[in-house]
Structure 1
Amino acid sequence: MADGPAVEVTGISLSSQRIRPGDLYAALPGARAHGIDFAATAVEAGAVAILTDPAGAGRAPAGVPLLVVEHPRSVLGRLAARVYGDPATSMRMIGVTGTQGKTTTTRLAEAGLERAGVRAAVIGTVGTRVGGEDVKTTLTTPEAPDLHGLFAMMRERDVEACAMEVSSHALVMGRVDGVVFDVAVFLNLGRDHLDFHADVEEYYQAKASLFTPERARLALVNIDDEHGRRLAAEATIPVLTFGVESRDADWSAADVRLDRDGSSFVARGPAGQAIRAGCPLPGAFNVYNTLAAIAACVEAGLGEGVAEGIAAAGGVPGRMERVDAGQDFTVVIDYAHKPDAVEAAMVALRRLTGGPLIVVLGAGGDRDPGKRPIMAEIAARLGDLLIVTDDNPRTEDPAAIRAAMLAGVATGDEVLEIGDRGEAIREAIRRAVPEGIVLVAGKGHETGQEIDGVVHPFNDRDVVLAALAERANP
């Protein structure tokens, strides 16, 4: 229901603090407050209209045109797309979902496209890049108004393709509403976000909602994953499959070779393609990520040159990232903070070393507590030494989180508990031996550590480099 005279809207925002003259202010109900409480501030800043629900409409400032919808979030994405002139339709859109690998896949696609001469953008956990330049955003998938505003900026900068992570939160909360992806990629599904979803089935259904005509034109699905096989059968859009183990996949990887510096293989496609490919990141799971990036770009009509670009690109921040200061052992930083990811990283590294594998691992507070003992059990079983430490405790007692992790460790496994993350990393570096590997897991690219509501500067890479310098110059 619309109430008030017609006005010209030039932008849209959920935040009253970010309103610009000509914007529509989206006053949505929230967990702690209703957006209408801040409507006066938005109007003072130049908002020309308000989108809200019936409860908000009853408290809206007088004289401001209202758009009243029972569930305003359900129309927010489509409305934002319209306000900005449907900018996503001006470029090829690749959306990637999965428990693991979203960041790596999208970043590899972006790097490969840029090197192949395609002006590209990427949106995700590590941040947003447009034409090779970093753009500050706060969420893995920005809220719909910010997302469509980003697309409008990309259009102005002549971006030809955008690869973006699509989280389950984004799908459930409508952040990608108003976007129809040319190719939607499903990588895998494991235990994660059970603090948000009731169970794994609900988590799967959230992911599966990406593979519908309202959200995508073509599905590219990993059928080496059990949930991928289910999705390939249930998706309501055309499906192409990929896999390394499945011989009947449309896209497959042949002649796979793995080493500490990455992998090489031949990507075989449904049109008879035989594309030489490589990835600068170690681990068999990165063969999947690379294959997905190549196949998605080809199926989006962006050419096969992306494979050569990926092979020549650098790594991805905080994703199986090697830190090398001339030491005679390997140090890897990885974002692994869920059971499947910890296992994948450790299996990959175990295959690459004849020496001991030391892992530094914590678990985040205010998140699914059930995964804590599972992660620790995996790390202790697959590693030679597990150092249990703090991740982002947030509002929880760090010692209680560590205790929950330690409860999953079997008797006889070599384990240390060092709450101070910096000291835990330094101890791992001190204990490393030639040809061995140290894995610092959980925080990856992050540059802060959240403790009791305060984010303290902390970067695993910086701490590792300092520890390596201390070891070299005792």
Structure 2
Amino acid sequence: MAAPPRPNLIEPVPVTTLVARSGARLIADPVAPEIAVTGATLRAQHVVPGDLFAALPGARVHGADFAADALAAGATAVLTDESGAERPALREAGVPVLVHPEPRAVLGEIAAWIYGEPSLQLAVLGVTGTSGKTTTAYLVESGLRAAGRVTGLIGTVETRIGGERLASAFTTPEAPDLQALLAVMVEQGVTHVPMEVSSHALALGRVNGTRFTVGAFTNLSQDHLDFHRDMEEYFAAKSLLFDGRSTTEVVVVDSAWGQQLVTPHTVTVSTEPGTKAAWRATDIAITPTGEQAFTLHAPDGRTATATIPLPGEFNVANATLAAAILDTTGVSLDKIVAGLAAVEVPGRMERVYLGQKFTAVVDYAHKPAAVTQALQALRARTEGRIITVLGCGGDRDTAKRPMMGEAAVRGSDLVIITDDNPRSEDPAAIRAAMLQGARAVSPAQSGEVLEIGDRREAIAAAVERAGPGDVVLVAGKGHESGQEVAGVVHPFSDRAELEAAIREKLEVNA
């Protein structure tokens, strides 16, 4: 993993300042007051001279086990817990050691202090929820650019600083990397940063130390129950974005989960008829060119006709949420509409067209509700068959696998169950769980089901079976450029494979 970017100019921060502000216990020799730090990381391989190395406890290993490497690379201080402080490498480190009972919880704040509290100099616009985070962030960023703002972007698909693209390792970076990244954005003149905020990031403190100008909520459905105990714990993690760290809170209230977040100061959003909300969308229709048009209602009685190049009513909800976020940052309604119309979202209901007589779409849907929504959106746009290629990831929530199979078979005429990212698991076992759910649906309510483990072959089979007016949906991986099998990531792009299969079919039929 490449080291994340860092700002060029950092004012050294005395270790004693970090100790006083964090409440940590200091283990140091008498020269400690003279030692300062100029960066932070929790990865020993990314240490540069002057860093604070965060030696955090983990599920399998303790970060203190890598302290020797960090110190050799030039770390001038270490943050850890009592267990880490007892490791020989730290007992004899010869550098200040900050000991805190919950080092992960304070790491974000400490990193923010080191990098000059960059989120206070930016409008950071956080979006959380199960589905729609990526699309909403891109919609917001498109609206900001239409209004002439200098934007950053942090999310699943990519991180962008102005026009420069960086690959994303996580939906939300680790706390020191996030604060360094925000500081780089400040240096480069960025003013507004739409940012996806995952439940993992909130639960693990990755966004601690970040002040959000806006905190926004899309929706909640089953996902990540390999990490969270149940849906209530999952929702509680999402709710942390609304615990006072966001100046303005914007919430889609079309579900009971969203309604629980509403306070007298919440900016509410809805696409449900008859729902009272500050921002609403009505008169949703598909245009002759395949876009969606709708009437956008602002809280002060203003209205505008908006269009988005994305199918599905759930994307109208994402667009309305984006409009509400943009309005809170001072973007005018005409610029909001312009931004919504111009958005491009990689791997999210992304059409692949090479002149073929059927529709081909790549989407990131990798949870039951998202699969259902994607298929409903496509069904509304076609009178032909829907052919879906779908798998489930390994080492993740196992309970959703039968539900994914069921959702796919209920909404498709043909489902090809294949591999996603099996990771360390047996791919056949993952497919078997999906097939169990698919075959539990009565034949009267389901389409045909095939099993083709090789994802490339599955995509080719779907394209081969597609006729004029049909839709081929390749779901689950979206923008991803690799497939992880047995610990090895192999180059693999659903879009590229879909294009190759379509091209071959066109050449054969030419």
Q: Same fold, TM exceeding 0.5?
A: yes
Matches of 2:307 and 2:207, distance apart in 1: 31
User: Which of 50, 55, 58 is the aligned partner of 1:22?
Assistant: 50
Matches of 2:167 and 2:381, distance apart in 1: 36
User: Which of 15, 39, 44 is the aligned partner of 2:72?
Assistant: 44
Once the two structures are TM-superposed, the CA of residue 266 in structure 1 deviates from its matched residue by 2.6
Once the two structures are TM-superposed, the CA of residue 293 in structure 1 deviates from its matched residue by 1.0
The question of 1:470 aligning with 2:494 is answered no
Once the two structures are TM-superposed, the CA of residue 311 in structure 1 deviates from its matched residue by 3.4
Contact 1:16 1:25 in 2 (8 A): yes
The within-5 A match list for 1:219-238 is: 219-232=249-262, 238=265
The question of 1:427 aligning with 2:470 is answered no
Once the two structures are TM-superposed, the CA of residue 306 in structure 1 deviates from its matched residue by 4.1
Q: Structure 1 residue runs of 4+, over 6 Å off?
A: none
Q: Deviations over 1:253-308 (max 9, x none)?
A: 13322257331223212233323322111111110111111110111234435423
The question of 1:362 aligning with 2:386 is answered no
Matches of 1:32 and 1:173, distance apart in 2: 16
Match for 1:10: what amino acid? T
Please list every run of 5 or more consecutive structure 2 residues that lacks an aligned counterpart in the other structure.
1-24
Partner of 2:53: helix, strand, or coil?
Answer: strand
2:201 is aligned to 170
The change in CA–CA distance for 1:199 and 1:334 in structure 2 (over 3 A counts) is same
Q: Deviations over 1:111-158 (max 9, x none)?
A: 221232110111111010111210233111001100000000000011
Partner of 1:204: helix, strand, or coil?
Answer: helix
Once the two structures are TM-superposed, the CA of residue 314 in structure 1 deviates from its matched residue by 4.2
Match for 2:253: what amino acid? I
The question of 1:243 aligning with 2:270 is answered yes
User: Which of 407, 420, 425 is the aligned partner of 1:396?
Assistant: 425
1:137 is aligned to 168
Once the two structures are TM-superposed, the CA of residue 228 in structure 1 deviates from its matched residue by 0.7
Q: Deviations over 1:196-215 (max 9, x none)?
A: 011111111111111111x2
Report which stretch shifted further, 327-336 or 262-271. Answer: 262-271
Partner of 1:210: helix, strand, or coil?
Answer: helix
Contact 2:156 2:168 in 1 (8 A): no
Contact 2:389 2:415 in 1 (8 A): yes
User: Which of 197, 210, 219 is the aligned partner of 1:188?
Assistant: 219
Matches of 2:187 and 2:86, distance apart in 1: 39
The within-5 A match list for 1:232-271 is: 232=262, 238-245=265-272, 246-259=274-287, 261-271=290-300
Match for 1:226: what amino acid? A
1:206 is aligned to 237
Partner of 1:182: helix, strand, or coil?
Answer: strand
The change in CA–CA distance for 1:19 and 1:309 in structure 2 (over 3 A counts) is farther
Contact 1:217 1:238 in 2 (8 A): no
The question of 1:79 aligning with 2:79 is answered no
Contact 1:109 1:306 in 2 (8 A): no
1:275 is aligned to 304
Q: Deviations over 1:194-240 (max 9, x none)?
A: 10011111111111111111x212211111122111222xx5x8311
Q: Deviations over 1:315-345 (max 9, x none)?
A: 2110000000011110010000100000000
Matches of 1:181 and 1:83, distance apart in 2: 18
User: Which of 351, 358, 370 is the aligned partner of 2:380?
Assistant: 351
Matches of 1:17 and 1:458, distance apart in 2: 27
Matches of 2:488 and 2:403, distance apart in 1: 27
Contact 2:326 2:336 in 1 (8 A): no
Partner of 2:293: helix, strand, or coil?
Answer: strand
Contact 1:262 1:283 in 2 (8 A): no
Contact 1:330 1:436 in 2 (8 A): yes
User: Which of 27, 46, 50 is the aligned partner of 1:3?
Assistant: 27
1:57 is aligned to 85
The within-5 A match list for 1:276-295 is: 276-295=305-324
Matches of 2:141 and 2:419, distance apart in 1: 33
Matches of 1:342 and 1:58, distance apart in 2: 49
Q: Deviations over 1:135-183 (max 9, x none)?
A: 2331110011000000000000111100101110000000000112111
Match for 2:497: what amino acid? V
Q: How many residues align?
A: 470
Matches of 1:437 and 1:105, distance apart in 2: 25
Contact 1:112 1:305 in 2 (8 A): no
The question of 1:92 aligning with 2:119 is answered no
Once the two structures are TM-superposed, the CA of residue 411 in structure 1 deviates from its matched residue by 4.7
Partner of 2:37: helix, strand, or coil?
Answer: coil
Q: Deviations over 1:395-443 (max 9, x none)?
A: 1111111111111122533111111111111111111111111111011
Match for 2:268: what amino acid? T
Report which stretch shifted further, 274-283 or 69-78. Answer: 274-283
The within-5 A match list for 1:411-426 is: 411-412=442-443, 413-426=447-460
Matches of 1:159 and 1:265, distance apart in 2: 31
Report which stretch shifted further, 237-246 or 286-295. Answer: 237-246
Contact 1:276 1:307 in 2 (8 A): no
Report which stretch shifted further, 245-254 or 429-438. Answer: 245-254
Matches of 1:58 and 1:306, distance apart in 2: 57
Share of identical aligned residues, percent?
53
1:333 is aligned to 362
Contact 1:358 1:439 in 2 (8 A): yes
Match for 2:369: what amino acid? D
Report which stretch shifted further, 315-324 or 28-37. Answer: 28-37
Match for 1:103: what amino acid? T
Matches of 1:20 and 1:94, distance apart in 2: 30
Report which stretch shifted further, 267-276 or 162-171. Answer: 267-276
Report which stretch shifted further, 304-313 or 203-212. Answer: 304-313
The question of 1:216 aligning with 2:240 is answered no
Partner of 1:217: helix, strand, or coil?
Answer: strand
